[in-house]
Structure 1
Amino acid sequence: MNPADLLTQARVLLLDFDGPVCSVFASIPASTVADQLREILAEGGHAELPEAVAASADPFDVLRYAATLGADEARYVEAAFTAHEVEAIPGATPANGAHDLIEAWQVSGRPLAIVSNNSAAAISVYLDLYNLRPAVDTVQARTSSDAGLLKPSPHLLRQAIATLDVSPGDCVFVGDSVTDIQAAHAAGVRVIGYANKPGKRAKFTTAEADAITETLASLVPVS
């Protein structure tokens, strides 16, 4: 389906944060953050990590592994991860067309939620930095070390839907990862895959996204 048409039909817009709104780690590489989280585990006596975790450039892989080690390990790693996200926000690069889309959606009078695995603290800093808070009705994001609540779990999407008191069929979610597509399907929400990097269109097609776009600017203006 044409993504702009899908958005026009929606009553509620749900936006992922890292990707569809901005590049969180534009100034501090995610791989550097992952390394620092691994150092925390090493300091706690967990220097020997599974190969996939030891080599990963994704901090979420380290967080999810920390959660398998125990509540304390998960809590320490998540707290450090949040601190690094907040530190990175001033250097985060807005996605082309993202702020225009958010503002156009606000003008349309329809609710908007940010639904993200990133920390609520970091998202809050970003919204204040760019004066976007008035355009966002709710933020459903990481507030604890419980990695099981993060996408591909539908938990955060369901929280947003409940908070806005709407039905899943009223919503369209824009996400830039296969886990976003999976979470949307599990929550009964239509989803637009934001293919902002080479190879993503094919992955989103396989994951059965309802629509795919390579640019957010094509979704603006919202009618």
Structure 2
Amino acid sequence: MTAQRERVRELIEQARVVLWDFDGPICRLFAGHSAERVAAELMEWLEGRGLHGLLAEDERRTADPHAVLRAVDRRHPDSDLVAELEERLTQAELRAVPSAWPTAYADPLIRTWTAVGARLAIATNNSPRVVHSYLADRRLVDCFAPHVYGRTQELRHLKPNPHYLNRALTAMGAAPSQALFIGDTPTDCQAAQEAGVMFLGYARNERKGKLLLDAGATDIVGSLEPLLNTLRTARR
């Protein structure tokens, strides 16, 4: 057994609660609906309202819709403008759901982990409405419900703030030491560190892996297959 497989087994054995990020470990939400285009559409909407100057030059070059949302919130926190922009992002995410790509091995891993008695939750910067729509399409709602915690118009709670992770732990009556969080971004890693939970990074390519390493992640997999194989072996 390799060192990585041993470590995966240790994480699985320690976890009574498994928290998941959504976009990345469970699916690629914008696989068929460019996130860069969504960010551009949000900026075009701002420009149409004469608010082009709200974003600095480097912010206008972003391909991340959440970066646009954060930038506006920093300048106009808790405003109607932020609320409308957040809803526009939610609608764009909902339009992306039909073309989202399931992450390889995610569906069977989720079902198997549920079958062996782990409790699952989602902690995401995406809208909970989007998560529920995707889970319903994949018939995975029962594996998580009611524990889906995600973006509201209170953007200060977005990861790396551990708010969504803490909400999940509190609702499930779980200690941080019993929980494993699976995420694919530096903000996921930082949120896990803040919440005091174990973190497993999912990196579908070398660039993602380097970002996670730079953020302090020590356990990283390039595929969810080793987790699924470990769970299936443990059930025999």
CA RMSD of aligned residues (A): 1.3
- Which residue number in structure 2 is paired with residue 6 of structure 1? 11
Deviation at 1:43, TM superposition (A): 2.3
Counterpart of 1:124 (choices 132, 137, 144) is: 132
Larger radius of gyration: 2
User: Which among 101, 104, 110 is matched to residue 112 of structure 2?
Assistant: 104
Residue 57 of structure 1 corresponds to 63
Structure 2 spans left out of the alignment, 5+ residues: none
Structure with greater proportional helix content: 2
What are the ranges of 5 or more consecutive residues in structure 1 without an aligned counterpart?
A: none
The size of the alignment, in residue pairs, is: 222
Q: For residue 210 of structure 1, report the CA deviation from its aligned partner.
A: 4.1
SS at match of 1:173: strand
Measured in 2, the distance between the counterparts of 1:119 and 1:127 equals 13
Tell me what 1:69 maps to.
75
Displacement, 1:68? 2.3
Percent identity, aligned pairs only, is: 36
Q: Determine the structure 1 residue equivalent to 2:38.
A: 33
Return the letter of the residue paired with 2:180.
V
2:24 to 19, 22, 27: 19
Comparing 38-47 and 129-138, the one that deviates more: 38-47
What is the letter of the counterpart of residue 22 of structure 2? F
> Which residue among 196, 207, 221 is the counterpart of 1:213?
221
Instruction: Name the stretch that deviates more: 66-75 or 33-42.
Output: 66-75
TM-score by length of 1: 0.95
2:155 aligned partner? 147
